[in-house]
Structure 1
Amino acid sequence: MADRGFDLEDRLRTLEENDLKRVLSPVDRVAERGYFADPSGGELPVLDSAEALVFASNNYLGLTDDQRVQDAARQAAATVGTGAGASRLVTGDTMVHQDLERLLAETKGTERALAFSSGYAANVGTITALEPDVVFSDELNHASIIDGCRLADTETAVYDHCDAASLWATLEEHAERASRAGREPADESWLIVTDSVFSMDGTVAPLEEICDAAEEFGAWVMVDEAHATGLYANGGGVVQAEGLEDRIQIQLGTLSKALASQGGYVAGSSELIECLCNDARSFVFSTGLAPPAAAAASEALHVARHGDARERLWENVAHLRDGLESMGFEVWGDSQILPVVVGDRRDAIALADGIRERDVVAPAIRPPTVPEGTSRLRVVPLATHEQGDIVSCLEAFRAAGEEVGLL
């Protein structure tokens, strides 16, 4: 009988031969430092005896082990329950969800917000619910945006990364094509979608210029603030830092990064949220966000808005960037994400291994996650790193860089 299954061993062998196989490496806690275990292959992991500094986490404000955030999750679990138990549209909506959404809307300067089970679900659900005729997408947008466009079966026009001129030219080309076909602007719905902070390059989208282009051509703008929420003005994102709330129709983000929890959100007009409640399949057909996760995110957002964690983060970012660049490393980006670009994937792996031997964790990022020839270490300080931690990280990079021959 013919075998119509899958040759998984060959797939894994190919990944290993191309230095592309990834493995799980458990850690004892999510914080600025922790004990890691070697890949266990399904067996119980054994933690390393040496504690390592973590410079690779999206826990930007270091709030995952903040007592206030943990207490909020515990209280929600004790009073509301550990899980929502059903879709929000059935019986899974709680006062904890409503409180989180109220605070998100206030922070993002919108009428309402809606919490999803993940940021991925928020992007996919929003794009598929809107069903735009054309999406204009930055070439480095997150996979969830790309998958949302695919599931919506919409025409997708990709413009050059963070290039407003490329976006403008792409919009103009489509407008001319529509005009030749006899279609009026009102006949089509256009949506421009971009991340605000790009997770692998650390770049920041030119949102004001994007809004200018959108308004010229009558398009809507959707901005994913996954790596910005909580870090900018009043605990908001780049949209708030640039005062663009009234020019951007849809703001998204996650609760799983700076807000130290799990889930995603969409913020916008009341009409937008009502439509998503009814038409976003990833919302309608998912169990509601767990109440402890909603409560933790709400408290973390409160801390981000009213504490000093944001200032401490940006101080650490400046110190680390200056130190890396002064050594001669090429550091990209304009945000808290500091990609140390090496180029060759094997050199990147060797550098990551070298700093890991010195108890600093910042794994190599290589193709297909990033383009060939741009392998890098994605280095991210946390607000909870002390100055001595930053110095230790820099010393590890210097020693490993010299050992590998990069310095």
Structure 2
Amino acid sequence: MSSKTLDIFLNENIADLKERGLYNEIDPVEGPNGPKITINGKTLINLSSNNYLGLATDERLKQVAKAAIDSHGVGAGAVRTINGTLDLHLKLEEKIAQFKGTQAAISFQSGFNCNMAAISAVMDKNDAILSDALNHASIIDGCRLSKAKIIRFEHSDMNDLRKKAKEAVESGLYKKIMVITDGVFSMDGDIAKLPEIVDIAEEFDLLTYVDDAHGSGVLGKGAGTVKHFGLQDKVDFQMGTLSKAIGVIGGYVAGKQNLIDWLKVRSRPFLFSTAVSPADAAASTKAIEILMESTELNEKLWENGNYLKAGLKELGFNIGNSETPITPCIVGEEKAAQEFSKRLIDAGVYAKSIVFPTVPRGTGRVRNMPSAAHTKEMLDEALAIYEKVGKAMNLI
């Protein structure tokens, strides 16, 4: 018989989340996750996917994934350090390093795994980490796991970062100090002030770590936030994911050869978790090759992003300060944000609500993620639905 204590805990807390409009219902997608998706038999315009370039359903990636299954099987069969490192993994890592402009790269099973692995492999209880207040949950968890002192600085506030870096250095308490930031912040779509961060890091001899999950494939003509600013020689850790613009699954850290050598012997998910499948490794490599050969998909993503953004702004929605195709419609109150999302879905647009704890309380929103695969007709239809629902709820 299951524990009564556990049942009480679960039932009370689930009921509480539902009451406060913070309980998330999961909607299974029937078929591929493309510019349109099918949920409960209904076709919807999809504005909630991280599949920025439409590569998750790209025929070229499907072909190499199928071929990799035929040649290498469906699984790697072991952790990387025993005999789970296939030639396909090495090809992927070589391609990532070329793409990012670094000496080497290491691949992981997910972007979340990267942050858990890399931060704690280098930082420990004798160190400190300066972390942007709006950094992703995986960065926060990676910092906690390291047991380093976490010093939050106000979001993209360079004066606060400089002040806290100076205090940390002058305290003499820490062996190493790292500054860590998202390249693109996934909830608001704003870009980190990397040139200023690097200047401060050089002034105080800080390690630099950029999580570019939402920047790779998007900024720098696809090569990411660090290359967008031309700082690939100045950033110690370039972390990214293969699960968003790349369209597959996995993550990586790119940097100097000695950093990658260290991560291969000290990062725990690399040591204790089976490697990504042959199909995933081959498809990711192909996606990066496509991005290195042509900027066509990247340009289409920006064209669609700018078009949707301009349309929503013209209708009168609060789209915040996004500098990328990520376009929030900030509603405020959590239940209103969930109701807005529900009505959009009923009308034909899948745009999921994002509420606390993913975003601060009182900033509930619907987040739009246009992709290179959307047509102008789809975006026009989405804008018409936004206008209808927004007016019905007195949001515009």
State the match for 1:377 in structure 2: 366
Correspondence list, 1:112-127, <5 A: 112-127=104-119
Q: Deviations over 1:149-176 (max 9, x none)?
A: 1111110100011111111111112123
Q: Does residue 10 of structure 1 match 2:12?
A: yes
Residue 335 of structure 2: aligned partner: 346
> CA 1:345/1:5 → structure 2, altered by over 3 Å: closer, same or farther?
closer
| RMSD between aligned residues | 1.4
Q: Does 1:355 align with 2:355?
A: no
Q: 1:5 to 1:400 in 2, by over 3 A?
A: closer
Distance across 2 between alignment mates of 1:233 and 1:204? 12
Contact 2:215 2:224 in 1 (8 A): yes
Matched, 1:106 2:98: yes
Q: Tell me the CA shift for residue 9 of structure 1.
A: 1.5
Offset at residue 3 of structure 1 (A): 5.3
| 2:276 partner letter | L
Structure 1 range deviating more: 295-304 or 115-124: 295-304
Corresponding pairs, count? 389
Residues 168/283 of structure 1: CA separation in 2 closer, same or farther (3 Å cut): same
TM-score after normalising by structure 1: 0.93
Report the CA distance between 1:121 and its aligned residue: 0.8
Q: Is the partner of 2:82 in helix, strand or coil?
A: coil
Q: Is the 8 A contact 1:61 1:384 kept in 2?
A: yes
CA offset at residue 4 of structure 1? 4.9
**How far apart, in 1, do the equivalents of 2:310 and 2:81 lie?**
50
TM-score by length of 2: 0.96
Q: Secondary structure at the match of 1:97?
A: helix
Determine the structure 2 residue equivalent to 1:205: 192
**Alpha-carbon distance, 1:352 to partner:** 1.2
Q: 2:208 aligns with which of 221, 233, 242?
A: 221
Match of 1:188 in 2: 175
Structure 1 segments of 4+ aligned residues over 3 angstroms from their partners = 2-6
Give the match for residue 279 of structure 1: 266
Distance 1:190 1:235 in 2: 30
1:36 aligned partner: 39
1:41 paired residue number: none
- Which segment drifts farther, 18-27 or 316-325? 18-27
How many Å apart are 1:146 and its aligned residue? 0.8
| 1:70 aligned residue | 62
**Cross-structure match for 2:25:** 23
- The residue number in structure 1 matching 2:300 is 312
Query: Are positions 1:323 and 2:311 aligned together?
Result: yes
Give the structure 1 partner of residue 257 of structure 2: 270
Post-superposition shift, 1:350? Answer: 2.1
Check conservation: 1:229, 1:236, Cα contact below 8 A: yes
SS at match of 1:330: coil
Q: Aligned partners of 2:28 and 2:221: how far apart in 1? A: 34
Q: State the SS of the aligned residue for 2:308.
A: helix
**For residues 7-61 of structure 1, what are the alpha-carbon distances to aligned partners after superposition, in whole Å with 9 as ceiling and x for unaligned?**
2212211111111111221112211101102xxxxxxxxxx2x311100100000
Report how far residue 298 of structure 1 moved.
0.9
Can you list the C-alpha shifts for 1:44-84, whole angstroms capped at 9, x where unaligned?
Answer: xxxx2x31110010000011111001111111111011111
Kept in 1, the 8 Å contact 2:243–2:249? The answer is: yes
Cα 1:285–1:69 change in 2 (3 A) is same
What is the distance in 1 between the residues matched to 2:186 and 2:150?
21
Q: Which residue of 2 aligns with 1:42?
A: none
Equivalent residue letter for 2:103? E
- Report the AA paired with residue 355 of structure 1: L
Aligned residue identity for 1:9: N
Deviations 1:334-357 (A, max 9, x none): 112111111112221222122112
In the TM superposition, residue 6 of structure 1 has moved relative to its aligned partner by 4.6
Name the counterpart of 1:336.
325
State the SS of the aligned residue for 1:141.
coil
Identity of aligned residues (%): 37
Residues 188-242 of structure 1: per-residue CA shift (max 9 Å, x gap):
1111110000111111100000000000000110000101112233531010111
Counterpart code for 1:24: I
Per-residue Cα deviation, 1:356-375 (whole angstroms, up to 9, x for no partner): 12210101111121111111
Which residue type is aligned with residue 337 of structure 1? I
Matched to 2:13, the amino acid is: R
SS in 2 for 1:173: helix
Residue aligned with 2:33, SS: coil
Amino acid at match of 1:23: E
Report the alpha carbon displacement of residue 252 of structure 1 after superposing the two structures with TM. Answer: 0.3
Closer/same/farther in 2, CA of residues 75 and 168 from structure 1, 3 Å limit:
same
Contact 2:22 2:334 in 1 (8 A): no
5+ residue gaps, structure 2: none
Aligned position for 2:357: 368
Q: CA deviation at 1:5?
A: 3.6
Rounded to whole Å, the distance in 1 between the matches of 2:128 and 2:148 is 6
CA distance in 1: counterparts of 2:334 and 2:268, whole angstroms: 39
Equivalent runs, 1:248-259 vs 2, <5 Å: 248-259=235-246
Paired position in structure 2 for 1:167 = 161
Q: Is the 8 A contact 1:107 1:235 kept in 2?
A: no
